[in-house]
Amino acid sequence: MNQPFGQKALFWTLVVISIVTLSAPTFVVLGASVTSGNIITFPPEGFSLKWYGKILGEQDLRDAFMRSLWVATICVIVAMPTGTLAGIALSKYRMRGGLIIQTYLLLPFTIPLIGSGIGLMLAFGDAGLLGNLWPVGIATAVINLPFMIWAVSSSAAGLDPDLELAAQSCGAGPVQTFFNVTLPAVTPGVITGSLLMFILSLNEFLVSLLLVDARTVTLPVQIYNSIRSIITPDLAAVSVVFIVVAMLAITALDKFVGLEIFLKSK
Amino acid sequence: MRKYTSAYPALWRVMDVLEGAFAAVWPKKGGNYTPYLMLAPAILLVGTLVVGLLYIGDTSLRTLDRTTFQFSDFWTLDNYTRAFFESFTWTIIWRSLMGAIIVTFVTLILAFPYAYTMVRTTNSTLRKFLLIALFLPFFIGQVVRAYGWLIILGNQGIVNDVLGLVGVEPLRLLFNYPAVLFGLVQYMLPFAVLMLAPAMTAIPEEIEAASTSLGASWIKTMTYVVIPMAKPGLIGAGLVVLTLSLTDFAMPAILGGGTQDFIANAIYDQFFRTSDQGFGASLAIILIGIETMIVGLIFAVFGAGTLELGSNDS
Amino acid sequence: MTFKKTINRRQLLKTSAAAGTVLAAPSILWAAEPAKPAELIVRAWGGPWVEALKNGVSDPFTERTGIRIIHDLTEDNEIQPKVWAAVAQNRTPPIHINWDTTTNATKSALRGVCEDLSDLSNLAGTTDLAKPVGVEGYPIVNTYGYVYVLAYRTEAFPDGPPASYHDLLDPKFKGRVAFYNDGIGFHFPAQVAGGGSLDGIPDAMDPCWDFVTKMKEQNPLLGEDPDFVTWFQNGEIDAACTISTNALGAKRNGVDIAWTVPAEGSKFDTDGLWIPKGHSESELYWAKEYINSAITQEAQQVWLDGLGLPGVVPGLTPPEGLAGDPSYPTTEADFERLIRISGKTQVEHESEWFSKFKQIMQG
């Protein structure tokens, strides 16, 4: 459909502003990471890859990165079934106390992360769970759960209830209907949500800060701690490596599933 | 006639077993309770947060003795009274609330055309480009992005360099309220677009075409057709941006120069700097209370948006 | 002759007995030494701070004992609730040794979560500075001192260093001065600048708040250690009340900075090491050994060279260019213009001073 010129002009101006705003820090970080000086500046002074050499040699950072991957994996494993079931339920059924349940399920966003962090630290501490990585995975799953639920429920919103009725009238039991009809229909939402959860968990630092110790520290926490002391270009280099890994992951995702899944509800 | 190797596929047998188990455990009349069963895992998971909240609530009722740095054995409402009567608390609450509302507004204004363009464009490469531009910033993380902006908008940064070319003295673009709001907007933008996009996809293009063919200008089409149909997405996105901005900690800290504290910063200060965990906890509880009321209000007035219940029940 | 022979034999017996004891001693010592843990966790500030610690204390310790040292870079503020919660919930604390500010450590000491360190053998060789003020015994061992100097960009002060904080009230410095976001280091000079006296701390601090209100007109930037370095490096500020190490850091990166102790004086404080309660006996023993090794002259010399700060053992050589510098006080005369307030007073009133400062600056 051809958009009228006025609309195109206005929308595209805003879009370009958005793109510039979103990408500017990326370029700065990229530039700052190749400086030959010791300070983060942009444009960089001179060109040198020494900071990359420095971080790639650091075992600590590699260990922290592997731990972050593990935490993110646990997060997705926990959030996928939980969020999917909840998303489908919220979208398909009208139920009593719906408003309360909705508000309750939005708690991870309404409680400030510091509050969640301290609360979970005290709760996990009393249960003797601290010192392991998997509680951190669960914690990141909890605080980002609304995203998963939303992703699935907006997918399920497009689910035609007649399809399920049809399946049942053909003799499928409830379990079979669920696996063969409902679940495939919400798959786009499940994939979108899981990816979002993975990314968010990989980058989470505030709640993790309170739940890890020096033996289990994850990469975002390590970066955050370093920034609090002094800001040097090696942090920029770490961020760039992260971005490169992300680009590879996104490309792979595109090949397998197609990026457009994020736009679809069906 | 083809000869079948097995009369009944193995997968079907598995399904039969599962159906049998399910029927045995879940009575037929239990159909009404199915949604609650499905919600149970999520409710339990969020329950861990509630348990944490109970600890925080307990801490909030204890005051700190500054000679022994132990918390009181007894419960008292002193922390809450102190919070209510200190004018600083209200300054911060007002600043955070106003900030969150402004940020939500601006973010939605920027997110809407972005989502619209992304969904409506026929060029698939362009769509991918827009999506990637949206995602990449996630991987740098909030804090490093904020530092990137410190460099760009700083005294010796690019913006001031460009302004210097036209003879303008370096402006202090950072360490003030607008800088914090700007930082929040650029952080929330990807979230808002991601939440709007599916809702936009659900609006058929033909409806816009129909509206235009009936003589409406594009502004009218937008206002009376597209935006109302996108309402669920707008509300979902708005809610997320509102709650996340209200509780954000990093942007006000980094871009604010220490003078633009939001509630999360005040809570941080109490937990970590003055070691008054009781007071910090009471501030957290007050914040949660305010937010839950706002969220509940929005749900009641506008409906739950893309989180809508029973939108499929005909 | 016989006399000599007797003496010789006695000498021989004595020396052989002595030799025998000396040879046997290690095995006695080994028997008394508890099992070594595989690693000890030391909390430290990142960047140049942890590098200095590694060079001066951690690496030599690992060489001597074979125990690996892991450095936890969590901020001192952020580790405090974690340690307190661990002790309160009877769990093993997340760190063995905390390299902390004495003020923070005093809070933990008052709360009773610090192990007693009075039995460290090397304490005998330290100066008075090593003893924390306001708490009994040695729950903390102070390891060095630092001054909250008035750091400034030399370009912005062509006529020489600012003589007083009043100089910063000049309108041309609007938005170009910086302080810690809780006002630390500035309260005490402000008290003097506002016309009051140090005896008025903590009960009569109105002059301090009056001066802070005046300074608010200058729209100062408020931040923490890494911010000062960044702000100086990026030319955002001309002057700051900050610890000398930050100014030194910026200077070493090429920024033209100097510092001074103005007429009102500068706050002097210390950092120290302490061990949270809750560790096993053997880990406690070796953690104590670590702290013990940090207060030897060799360790202090290397460690503090990296930080440019005066230590707690006599006979240290100041790093290049810092001899006689106001940020490196060693003699009585150096300490005349520095302000030292007891840790106990500071922690008692900290919350109050904190809120007042924030109220004035942000209200």
Q: What is the pLDDT of residues C56-108, one digit of tens each?
A: 999 999 999 999 999 999 989 899 999 999 999 999 999 999 999 999 999 99
High-pLDDT (> 70) share of chain A, %: 95
Tell me what pLDDT residue C28 has: 45
Cβ within 8 Å, pair A217-C225 = no
| CA–CA distance, B63 with B279 (Å, rounded to integer) | 7
Tell me what pLDDT residue B201 has: 79
Contact B257, B174 (CB under 8 A): yes
Tokens of A87: 């998303």
- The model's pLDDT over B171-188, given as tens digits with 9 standing for 90+, comes to 888 888 999 999 999 999
Averaged pLDDT of chain A: 85
DSSP for B31-62, written as a single string: GGGHHHHHHHHHHHHHHHHHHHHHHHHHHHT-
| Residue range A187-195: mean pLDDT, rounded | 83
Tell me what pLDDT residue A266 has: 41
- Tell me the pLDDT band of A189, cut-offs 50, 70 and 90: confident
CATH 3.40.190.10 is held by the domain C146-268+338-362: yes
Which chains reach chain C with 3 or more Cβ–Cβ distances below 8 angstroms?
A, B
Closest CA to B183 of B106, B266, B295, B88: B106
Which chains reach chain A with 3 or more Cβ–Cβ distances below 8 angstroms?
B, C
CB pairs under 8 A between A and B: 348
Q: Which of A18-27, B150-159, C65-74 has the lowest mean pLDDT?
A: B150-159
Tell me what pLDDT residue B147 has: 85
Cβ within 8 Å, pair B147-A40 = yes
Domains of chain B, earliest start first: 85-307 (1.10.3720.10)
Tell me what pLDDT residue B119 has: 84
- Tell me the pLDDT band of A232, cut-offs 50, 70 and 90: confident
Asked if the C-beta of C35 comes within 8 angstroms of chain A's C-beta atoms, the answer is no
- The model's pLDDT over B79-117, given as tens digits with 9 standing for 90+, comes to 899 888 888 889 999 999 999 999 999 999 999 999 988
Tell me what pLDDT residue C20 has: 54
Backbone angles phi, psi at C59, to 5 degrees: -65, -45
Cβ within 8 Å, pair B288-A115 = yes
Asked if the C-beta of A222 comes within 8 angstroms of chain C's C-beta atoms, the answer is yes
| Residue range C140-151: mean pLDDT, rounded | 93
Tell me what pLDDT residue C17 has: 56
Cβ within 8 Å, pair A142-B281 = no
Report the predicted TM-score, pTM, of the whole model to 2 decimal places: 0.85
List the single residue in A with minimal CA-CA distance to C73.
Answer: A225
| Residue range B36-57: mean pLDDT, rounded | 91
Same fold, C39-145+270-325 and C146-268+338-362: yes
β strands within C11-125, DSSP E:
39-43, 68-72, 97-101
Cβ within 8 Å, pair C358-B88 = yes
Tell me what pLDDT residue A236 has: 85
Q: Which of B220-224, C176-180, C245-249, C286-290 has the lowest mean pLDDT?
A: B220-224
- The model's pLDDT over B244-289, given as tens digits with 9 standing for 90+, comes to 999 998 899 889 888 899 999 999 999 898 888 899 999 999 999 9
| Residue range C118-130: mean pLDDT, rounded | 90
Q: State the CATH class of domain C39-145+270-325.
A: alpha beta
- The model's pLDDT over B137-154, given as tens digits with 9 standing for 90+, comes to 877 788 888 888 988 888
Tell me what pLDDT residue B310 has: 38
| Residue range A223-244: mean pLDDT, rounded | 83
Cβ within 8 Å, pair B240-A146 = yes
Tell me what pLDDT residue C248 has: 86
Asked if the C-beta of A108 comes within 8 angstroms of chain C's C-beta atoms, the answer is no
- The model's pLDDT over C17-39, given as tens digits with 9 standing for 90+, comes to 555 555 544 444 555 688 999 99
Domain extent listing, chain C: 39-145+270-325, 146-268+338-362
Q: Residue B258 region, left (φ>0) first, then alpha (ψ -120 to 50), else beta?
A: left
DSSP for A31-87, written as a single string: HHHT-SSSS--SS-SS---HHHHHHHT-HHHHHHHHHHHHHHHHHHHHHHHHHHHHH
- Tell me the pLDDT band of B48, cut-offs 50, 70 and 90: very high
List the single residue in B with minimal CA-CA distance to A159.
Answer: B312
Asked if the C-beta of C235 comes within 8 angstroms of chain A's C-beta atoms, the answer is no
| Residue range A224-245: mean pLDDT, rounded | 83
Contact A32, A41 (CB under 8 A): yes
- Tell me the pLDDT band of C347, cut-offs 50, 70 and 90: confident
Residue type at position A259: L
| CA–CA distance, C304 with A89 (Å, rounded to integer) | 62
Cβ within 8 Å, pair C363-B91 = yes
Q: List alpha helices for C67-143, DSSP H.
A: 76-88, 102-111
